[in-house]
A = this chain, B = another copy of it.
């Protein structure tokens, strides 16, 4: 019997759709009925995570907990949260429910270790970068983490907030491209798409740098937990 996957979503909605699509495309099944049941709360009432972490904005925790509990009531047996920055609040959300919750950043570290990566470049929001959530996990695993210099980091923030979250399909990605190339030139073997809006960014703006996709790692982790064969 496959387990029911619950997605705390809306951080942002496109990242949520991306995770759900990856869960679906990577299930090695032959009919609708063999896919795991997935319940999603794309809760756009959750306040911005970076704003809360760095600028004294409203805490996202109460609404994240509301979603976690709603999903548990709807039958979810495991929770996932496709937002890297939101993982700064992981413990508070995970402790609000009785069902387990998978940790996207831990899963990403596992994937990098499995590939033998020793030095990775982080593309993420200011909130994720400054709280050191990737840095701490990577330190524990002896993986060196490079982050972009300030101007390049600003380009990363801008493609996330001014490009994808603002829904601009014609956004000029050249400054972001330069940020990616800067990390690779500095010795990063691969890029960590450390914001769940970035896999859709790579797809929409046709970027093809070597990258590890935490959303994909979370999708595979959820399928494994649900007992669903993977392809």
Interface residues of chain A, those whose CB is within 8 Å of chain B, are: 9-14, 16-18, 20-21, 23-25, 27-48, 70, 74-75, 161, 165-167, 231
Contact A165 B32 (CB under 8 A): yes
Contacts of A27 in B (CB 8 A): 13, 167
Would you give 9 A-B contacts (Cβ < 8 Å), ordered by A?
A13-B23, A17-B17, A18-B21, A20-B40, A27-B167, A33-B47, A37-B41, A39-B41, A70-B74
Q: Name the residue in A9, A13, A36 with the highest tally of chain B Cβ atoms < 10 Å from its Cβ.
A: A13
Given contacts A24-B17, A35-B13, A48-B32, whether A41 and B74 have CB atoms under 8 Å apart is yes
Residue in chain B with minimal CB distance to A30: B166
For the complex, what is the distance from the CA of A44 to the CA of B1, rounded to whole Å? 12
Q: Give every chain B residue within 8 A of A231 (Cβ-Cβ).
A: 167
| Residues B31 and A165 in contact, CB atoms below 8 Å apart | yes
Are B44 and A34 in contact (CB-based, < 8 A)? yes
- Chain B residues with CB under 8 A of A32: 10-13, 44, 46, 48, 165
Contact, CB under 8 Å: B10 / A35? yes
Instruction: List the B side residues contacting A20 at CB < 8 Å.
Output: 13, 16-17, 20, 40, 42
Lowest 4 A-B CB distances belong to which pairs? A40-B40, A12-B32, A38-B42, A17-B21
Assuming the contacts A27-B167, A32-B48, A167-B231, asked whether A37 and B21 have C-beta atoms less than 8 A apart, the reply is no
Residues from chain B with a CB closer than 8 A to the CB of A11 are 32
Q: A17-B20, A39-B39 are in contact. List 14 more A-B contacts (CB 8 A).
A: A13-B20, A13-B38, A14-B21, A14-B25, A18-B21, A25-B167, A29-B167, A30-B166, A31-B48, A35-B44, A36-B44, A37-B41, A38-B40, A167-B231
Q: Name the B residues within 8 Å of A34 (CB-CB).
A: 44
Instruction: A10 to B35: give the CA distance in the assembly, Å.
Output: 8
